[in-house]
Structure 1
Amino acid sequence: MTDELLTALRYKSEGTDIDFKSAQYRFIGGNDEDKAEMLKDILAIANAWRDGTGYILLGFKDQRPHPAAIVGITASIDDAKMQQFVHSKVKPKLTFKYEEHLHEGKTVGVITIPKQKRPFYLSHAYGKLKSNVVYVRRGSSTDEAEPPETAAMMQADAGRKDLRLGLSVLAPNNEKLDTTFALNYLKFPERLPDYESPPSETGHFALSLAISSVWHDNKNFWRQYAEYVRVQAALIEMKFILHNHSDVQLSNAKLEMSAEPLDGQGFQMISGADLPNEPETQWSSLHGIRSLPEILDRQNTQMVVDNSGRSPVCRVRFGSLLPGEEGRSSDTVAIVPLGPGRLRLRLRILGAEIAVPEESEHVLEATGDVRVLDVDGLGEIRGKSLLERYQLTGK
């Protein structure tokens, strides 16, 4: 659940797929009738006639025709306890999830209920709820479904099947990503000198004067080259393929990847498009100006590395995947360790039809030594052949 989606849901009116609640359910310390109210709302959304995911938003006050007001909640509910309670009452097993978020400075709760096989009902009466009765949301109200409507639900959802997904983590050459990497961790003096090109010969003074009006020394060359070499020497680059092996469509599919250093070492996460290129010693007045296609590609990218939080997160959007279809990340993402040690990658697959994200972990081990280089060392690296540079990176 993102702030963008919460904002979008605020602007929707209550209906078969959304229900606003200004206060938290009295789940902790509540009686049977209090808890039955929560059950009824969840059942009604789960049985509703809708095209996509349904939501119950807690801490939002409906004020149609204006967007729902954010009033926030003061009590918290543990998702695991809510899951246990609902599963003990509802038949068949209902897939949903509960989350709490800080949205515009206030805590709100979100119950997400993907579209799935209906009908759902209580096996035993509870509170004011009857057993074996199908509660359904119609518009912004809840009602008991008639037997023909219950039969229609079963017929409409007869072909609905469970999702079966697969995620491949690959190297840029499309081979399976290794788990161990021999790398070099380069460090440089705090201050590297400005770059100055060798003086031109006297006979070429006029030519060099004309060229200098267009081309200039890149004074930051050594600093840029140090960053380029440092990243290349400790680069772990990867891309992703999400496979939909199921017989139903997966909508709004997204992958989130975070990294956790297990040995206390620092690291960077960089998208492939933002990896430093090998710099030039001179550049023209047009240096750094992107073409229109490059600008449009960056605006439409499906992969983003977010470094605004406590730890970086890579988000990949795959859109909708038809049965049997696969989605490929539009770019690579790089992990750049600052020293040897293990890194745990945490991956989460999210989608409109997935109530609880599918999670997996990969542990990578980076070996190698820390090396200190000055400008002379950089010059030696620059003078090496491509093969020697390749060996420097340890790849």
Structure 2
Amino acid sequence: MIELLNTLRYKSEGPDIDFKSAQYRFNGATELDKSEMLKDILAIANSWRDSTGYILLGFKDQRPHPAEVVGIRDNIDDAQIQQFINGKVKPKLTFRYEEHLYEGKTVGVITIPKQKRPFYLANAYGKIKSNVVYVRRGSSTDEAEPTEIAAMVNDDSGRGDIRLGLTLIAPNNEALPSTFARTYLEFTEEFPDYKKARKPSNPFEFRADSIMERDNSYFWREYAEYMKVDEALIAVQFLLLNQSGVQLTNAKLEVVIDALDDQRFQLLEASEVPTMPKPQWNFADRLATPPYVLTSQNSSLLIDDENESKPVVHVRFGSLLPGEQGRSETLAIVPQGIGRLRLRMRILGGEIATPIEEEHFLEATGESQSLDFEGFRQFVQRKLASSKLRTTE
């Protein structure tokens, strides 16, 4: 929300945004006062716009400069506003009200997605007439003409309720199972530097490999980290299908994972998953490959781990046309022991007034192994022998 407010305050008032320097008079207010909020919400809901509309409370418009943050003093509960608005407006209007701390001050945000119009009151209330369609034009509110109302109905004839399908899959496009048998490795000692056994060198013999290659002294430690992740990894991708008759804009998924049995786990983006290390550094390879790769800042899957105990996975799908499907990059879940995991997911979008919440459960089974260096080498040898056996079968 902070990101959104940073953007909106630089916009000018128009059919999709209205700045209010003070909170609406609501609690204990007269019908005339409360009708101010009602009229503004109706006008934004009926306005001609391409995306979600907003009424920002606690912001003072000072064009051409960004809106000044002045804050609000009085608090209003969303449930009260919902009951008040939808007890009077026809048909039912989808919106939400939230209060946030922004730049040290409390501000209010009324979010109104695009939806079927027109909206009106069956009975007069305060300064609002019955059966009149109010619409926002530019930064002002006016009564819509009959031809304009007809155009609203025609323009929104294909617009329906937002219907979405969220699916979790494996990277190979198969359905994600609910149970995963894995091996969870722990190491009981610091592994030594790697040194390749070599024959005594002939001082009169020229060897190109001695110049081009150097031992990777970190190999055993890197290999241990690679195996620890590879043996326990659960790879997940998210598919979001827009099953509605209207485009969904700014589609986003938020995922929080809970360890239901108090086991530890790690979350990694696909680019962070370790790859199999090499025992030697090859000088020619290092010349051919950059020492680092800049990752895109517009990745569709990002892990926000500022709160280490509850990292949040953010998946951005952008805009999805009716029938279109968005697919995320891979999320690597790395349990460090057996136990159940709960994925709490929230789907957000420009046309969704209240986030859609879903849950998915996974169970990590298998065995844990504590290995010293020699035990790890034996473990690797068994894995390699098993892999060769499967290849020859």
- TM-score above 0.5: yes
Task: Give the one of 357, 360, 365 matched to 2:358.
Answer: 360
In structure 1, the partner of 2:379 is: 381
Q: Does 1:345 align with 2:343?
A: yes
Task: Name the % identity.
Answer: 59
Kept after mapping to 2: 8 A contact 1:168/1:242: yes
Kept after mapping to 2: 8 A contact 1:195/1:281: no
**Equivalent position SS for 1:5:** helix
In structure 2, the partner of 1:102 is: 101
Q: Which moved more, 1:239-248 or 1:380-389?
A: 380-389
**Equivalent position SS for 1:298:** coil
Q: Which amino acid aligns with 2:97?
A: Y
1:192-231 map, 5 Å: 192-203=190-201, 211-231=209-229
Q: Which amino acid aligns with 1:364?
A: L
Aligned length: 387
Q: Deviations over 1:45-68 (max 9, x none)?
A: 001111211111122211111011
In structure 2, the partner of 1:172 is: 171
Structure-2 separation of matches of 1:272 and 1:186: 21
| Structure 2: segments with no counterpart, 5+ residues | none
In structure 1, the partner of 2:316 is: 317
1:53-68 map, 5 Å: 53-68=52-67
| Structure 1: segments with no counterpart, 5+ residues | none
Structure-1 separation of matches of 2:252 and 2:27: 33
Structure-2 separation of matches of 1:106 and 1:318: 31
Kept after mapping to 2: 8 A contact 1:381/1:389: no
**Equivalent position SS for 2:44:** helix
Q: Deviations over 1:237-284 (max 9, x none)?
A: 111221122222222222222212222222211112211112222224
Kept after mapping to 2: 8 A contact 1:200/1:208: no
In structure 1, the partner of 2:325 is: 326
1:17-166 map, 5 Å: 17-166=16-165
Across the aligned residues of Structure 1 and Structure 2, the Cα RMSD in angstroms comes to 2.8
Structure-2 separation of matches of 1:312 and 1:5: 21
From the superposition, tell whether residues 101 and 301 of structure 1 become closer, same or farther in structure 2 (CA, over 3 Å). same
Q: Deviations over 1:211-235 (max 9, x none)?
A: 4554333232222222212212221
In structure 2, the partner of 1:247 is: 245
From the superposition, tell whether residues 269 and 293 of structure 1 become closer, same or farther in structure 2 (CA, over 3 Å). closer
Kept after mapping to 2: 8 A contact 1:194/1:221: no
Q: Which amino acid aligns with 1:93?
A: K
**Equivalent position SS for 2:346:** strand
TM-score by structure 1 length?
Answer: 0.88
**Equivalent position SS for 1:227:** helix
TM-score by structure 2 length?
Answer: 0.89
Structure-2 separation of matches of 1:100 and 1:74: 11
From the superposition, tell whether residues 207 and 273 of structure 1 become closer, same or farther in structure 2 (CA, over 3 Å). farther
**Equivalent position SS for 1:240:** strand
Structure-1 separation of matches of 2:126 and 2:149: 22
Structure-1 separation of matches of 2:184 and 2:366: 7
TM-fit CA distance, 1:91: 0.9
